[in-house]
Amino acid sequence: MTEIIEGVVLKTSDYQEHSKILQVFSKEHGLLGIYIRGANNYKSPNFALAQPISHAFFTIRYTDGLSSSFKGEIINPFQNLKLDFTKNIYVYHLFELLLKNLEQHEAHFDLYSLLLKTLNVFENSNDLNLIKLLTIYFELQLLYLLGVGPVVSHCVVCGDTMNIANFDISRGGFVCLNHVDKPHKRYGIATLESLFKLHTSNFEQVLSIANEVNNDVLIDLREIMTNFYMYHLNMTTNAVKYFNKP
């Protein structure tokens, strides 16, 4: 039985001489592998479908294992993203997070919608600070989906909401003056406030506050996210090492 699904190509690998296997984050089924014949031939109508970052409809034979596709239709090729090395770093960072942390065949409608919104901003904006902030926002949403999101509404130790003094990676969130571990790095109030705003804001609100977040705060937020993923999920991505390069 065939069906039409919508998805974003996260990763591709060659299969035999002319075909590919795609890792697609789909609206209907979450992550799934799709075998697509002839996609390695640039003259094939399936060639464009099999390019990473492409957003497309796929006509597939869906199975619990490897599905197969014989045709599709591009919705958005995200051509600017494909040609921009700097933007690619952030896109493939998000893709790797999805591939490493999501189970196959589990739909996540809100996360899928967030990915498309994020890619559309990346495609159309050259504001690197906005791209950095949206990357951090996406990472936060994924952490909460996975059930390991940081506590940023109160002290993770005692519940105090009035005397927040730092963010503690190992404890998983904000700590108050009474529970600050002095050897740990102290983050400034602007960083803590920005982290709280990212937690409480929707996508459109994050867009509106992006110009309020300066570069020093973005550096702190990046450090927090990278260390949090390493400590609580024991993972990083290949792209992280490029984030702070000029």
The segment(s) of the chain belonging to CATH 1.20.1440.120 are 81-242
Distance CA 164, CA 245 (A): 32
- CATH architecture assignment, domain 81-242: Up-down Bundle (1.20)
Distance CA 51, CA 71 (A): 14
Q: Hey, what are 168's tokens? A: 């503690």
Using alpha carbons, select from 26, 120, 109 the residue that is nearest to residue 67.
26
Model pTM? 0.95
pLDDT at 245: 64
The segment(s) of the chain belonging to CATH 2.40.50.140 are 2-77
State phi, psi for 2 to the nearest 5 degrees: -100, 155
Tens digit of pLDDT at every position of the chain (246 positions): 799 999 999 999 998 878 899 999 999 999 999 999 888 877 888 888 999 999 999 999 999 999 999 899 999 999 999 999 999 999 999 999 999 999 999 999 999 999 999 999 999 999 999 999 999 999 999 999 999 999 999 999 999 999 999 999 999 999 999 999 877 789 999 999 999 999 999 999 999 999 999 999 999 999 999 999 999 999 999 999 888 765
- CATH architecture assignment, domain 2-77: Beta Barrel (2.40)
